[in-house]
Structure 1
Amino acid sequence: MLYFLLQPLARSIKTFNLLNYITFRAGAAFVTALIVAFIVAPTIIRRLRAMAVHQVVREGTPDTHAGKGTTPTMGGLIILVATFVPLLLWGRYTWHRGGQYLVTAMVLTAWMGGIGFLDDYLKLKQKRLGLKNEGLVERYKLVGQLSAGLALGLYVWLFPLSTLPGASTTLPFFKYILIIPSTAALTWLYIAFVTFVLTGASNAVNITDGLDGLASGLVGIAAATFGVFAYMFGRYDTSGYLQVFYLRGAGELTVFCAAILGACIGFLWYNTFPAQVFMGDTGSLALGGALGAVSVLLKSEFLLLIIGGVFVAEMFSVILQRFVFKYRKRRHGLEYAQRHRVFLRAPLHHHFEVKGWPETQVVVRFWIIGIFCAILALSTLKLR
């Protein structure tokens, strides 16, 4: 909005030339998101407390989490407001100059956030009716996530956002290698792959959101990293120097990632231990969807495995725990399966809690691992 209002004035007021620079608008989006989060968070938290929108303690969590049942949830509304306001102010929506990337990422984030909001709302409604707090039925939630992934896959295939084929992806550590489906059947396989990436990313962040500040901090690290990649891929000179594919307009995703980063840091102010509010599915599904969407738009789906290494480990721990438990239960009985688990608790962060690590120690150490994953991902720009 501000770009279209003020940029034409650059001929007479040179200061407005700054709006032509993605780095300036990304910095402005970050600061705006931070300020908006600080402004709206107290009001939203008070409202959630008044409505008794309390966190539902998940089954199987350590006993130390029992006191969190009175902490308000649905704080993802803070993140969504703090993300979209700066994007509306500082985004450039000229369609073939990055607007296509920005709008697509925003739509996917809102879509996933809407699914999460519906889930949180139904939990609140069920609680008031005295019913079991299950929220949105799992299969309905999954249908919504799969629909978003399918829509994104079809869109990038039928309407390529850059000069690269829509149905294509790249590999980290390899220069100028583009994986393109050779047949129509393989193209549909690519669409299924995009659906898997988007659904997996949203669920992985949702599973990771189990400790105060854990998910918001890790998403902030991942968003900052993707912002660097978006900026590099969107510059013709830098992409050529680094020997990566040039994606015209992709630099606009730098503004998107900066807004996500600012929103996460602003939310973390209230979500750090002891948390005053939790993001709930409203925030976790939206943030996971945002990361998944950015990875697909940047043709960097496999890079997400590195940047989101902690999210991958958290998801894998749950899958492995369930698979081994069911296998041992079938082969040796329930008692044996309960005594011989892979992890003391799943997801992974609960395993270390049960081992005796304080919650803050788990969070900070996972952040450190997240930073290491980010540095490893950035190293792929030169190690090609």
Structure 2
Amino acid sequence: MLYYLFEWLQKYDIPGAGLFNYTSFRAILTIILALLISTIFGDKFIDRLKAKQITETQRDASIDPFGVNKIGVPSMGGVIIITSILIPCLLLGKLTNIYMILMLITTVWLGVIGFADDYIKVMKKNKDGLKGRYKIVGQVGLGLIVGLSLYLSPNAVIRENMEVKIPGQEIEVIHAKKNTKSTQTTIPFFKNNNLDYADIMSFMGEHKQAAGWVLFVFVTIFVVAAVSNGANLNDGMDGMAAGNSAIIGVVLGIFAYLGSHAELAQYLNIMFIPGSEELVIFICAFVGALIGFLWYNAYPAQVFMGDTGSLTIGGIIAVFAILIRKELLIPILCGVFLVETLSVILQVQYYKRGKRKGIKQRVFKRTPIHDHFRTTLAQLDANCTYLITKPKKIIHESKITIRFWIITILLAAITIITLKIR
């Protein structure tokens, strides 16, 4: 809204109005505003949650090995994150931009699903929350909206990389002069750096382009469901999911900025995505909101984000990566989410395998895997065999969280390096 106001003021040569034409200026304002909203609004919102006794049952001092009491800590703190994202984007973003529209839809859509889950858990006292099938339907629905919007919108286009060989000189990479609808995406560690879903469906002959879009929509649905659930599993310790997601958001913001800048995209031999500079505005709000939320969510937490927050931030990361055509980098960038998910799958399958044989067995002490490191041997079932029992001594929650942040920073660095390692 402010963007359009200053655009109008610029017509009358109002000093400073032209600053809103610069993505970098709006991005800085966005991250500051999101940070302020999350810290100022967060304090008042937490007091409101306490007054309404909107809390989730958590471990108490008798269970926690370090004697930290977490009973009575408010849940649904994801509302703070969502509010701190939406307000700056509505004020400073271009609301006619297809990418901004899709990110705002993603935030509200998954925020509603997560809020419904938390509401059932907290207010209805049903620890199972929203039934899994409803969550899946919501995630599939969002994947369809995003995938089909990219297919149908005339503004969701790219400029493909082209190699031009000049006699006596090295091959030069340029971008095509025309914007095109394309099913191309970025693939790491390969020379040409692009993979076209239509090429995978080449066996469909003349229908391969349409089949490529169908495959792209299915990939979109899978990525949204996988990353949102991975972020949800990662949200098990104070500051864990918020910190990891903020780091991931910074990397996605770098990719969005490079992909929206024609000269930088050409230099790095990555696809140029016209209009994607608005994604930089959104991701700055995302990072600012998460950092501000950490003010209250860092150990010991004053508020939990709940599924309202974790499902939303996971979905935001997934959809954002898809919009900038970097979804195949997610296994690297979101490696912590991936490992958390795999640990749960492995634990369940290993347990079922043992159950068929009439024995109790598990791989880890507890899952998701971050819980494995804070579980004492005394808490284990004596009748169950555990494949991995190390470390014998438990690790403090804050140390586990910081170590996971460090791993995510390392994965983020590797993800950025893929721009040049091919």
Q: Same fold (TM over 0.5)?
A: yes
Alpha carbons 2:56, 2:122 under 8 Å: kept = no
Q: Distance in 2 between matches of 1:189 and 1:178?
A: 13
Aligned to 1:267: 293
Shift of 1:32: 0.2
Alpha carbons 2:27, 2:280 under 8 Å: kept = yes
Shift of 1:68: 2.5
Say whether 1:137 aligns with 2:131: yes
Alpha carbons 2:251, 2:412 under 8 Å: kept = yes
Say whether 1:333 aligns with 2:335: no
Alpha carbons 1:113, 1:285 under 8 Å: kept = yes
Q: Distance in 1 between matches of 2:351 and 2:420?
A: 42
Shift of 1:304: 1.6
Aligned partner of 1:307 among 325, 330, 333: 333
Alpha carbons 1:352, 1:362 under 8 Å: kept = yes
Q: Percent identity?
A: 41
Aligned to 1:162: 157
Alpha carbons 2:197, 2:215 under 8 Å: kept = no
Give deviations 1:143-184, integer Å, cap 9, x for gaps.
Answer: 111111122222222336113535442212333523232434
Give deviations 1:122-159, integer Å, cap 9, x for gaps.
Answer: 112322xxxx4221111112211111112222222233
Alpha carbons 2:30, 2:92 under 8 Å: kept = yes
What secondary structure, in the 3-state scheme, does the structure 2 residue paired with 1:67 have?
coil
Aligned to 1:35: 36
Say whether 1:348 aligns with 2:374: no
Q: Distance in 2 between matches of 1:168 and 1:110?
A: 28
Aligned to 1:15: 16
Query: Once superposed, which parts of structure 1, at least 4 consecutive aligned residues long, lie more than 6 Å away?
Result: none
The 5-angstrom pairing of residues 121-132 of structure 1 reads 121-127=119-125, 132=126
The 5-angstrom pairing of residues 46-195 of structure 1 reads 46-57=47-58, 63-64=64-65, 67-93=69-95, 95=96, 99-127=97-125, 132-159=126-153, 161-163=156-158, 164-174=180-190, 175-181=192-198, 182=201, 183=208, 184-195=210-221
Alpha carbons 1:158, 1:166 under 8 Å: kept = no
What secondary structure, in the 3-state scheme, does the structure 1 residue paired with 2:69 have?
helix
The 5-angstrom pairing of residues 345-384 of structure 1 reads 345-354=366-375, 355=391, 356-384=394-422
Q: Distance in 2 between matches of 1:168 and 1:348?
A: 35
* Equivalent AA in structure 2 for residue 310 of structure 1: V
Q: Distance in 2 between matches of 1:343 and 1:249?
A: 46
Q: Distance in 2 between matches of 1:295 and 1:70?
A: 36
- Calculate the TM-score normalised by the size of structure 1: 0.91
Count, aligned residues: 368
* Equivalent AA in structure 2 for residue 238 of structure 1: L
Q: Distance in 2 between matches of 1:13 and 1:382?
A: 43
What secondary structure, in the 3-state scheme, does the structure 2 residue paired with 1:274 have?
coil
Alpha carbons 1:165, 1:180 under 8 Å: kept = no
What secondary structure, in the 3-state scheme, does the structure 2 residue paired with 1:53 have?
coil
Write 1 or 2 for the structure with the bigger share of helix: 1
* Root-mean-square deviation over aligned CA pairs: 1.8
- Calculate the TM-score normalised by the size of structure 2: 0.83
Shift of 1:8: 3.5
* Equivalent AA in structure 2 for residue 137 of structure 1: K
Shift of 1:189: 2.8
Aligned partner of 1:233 among 259, 273, 279: 259
Q: Distance in 1 between matches of 2:331 and 2:5?
A: 39
Q: Distance in 1 between matches of 2:71 and 2:226?
A: 27
What secondary structure, in the 3-state scheme, does the structure 2 residue paired with 1:13 have?
coil
- For the pair shown, which has the larger CA radius of gyration, 1 or 2? 2
Structure 2: runs of 5+ lacking an equivalent = 159-179, 202-207, 376-390
Q: Distance in 2 between matches of 1:16 and 1:173?
A: 43
Shift of 1:302: 0.9
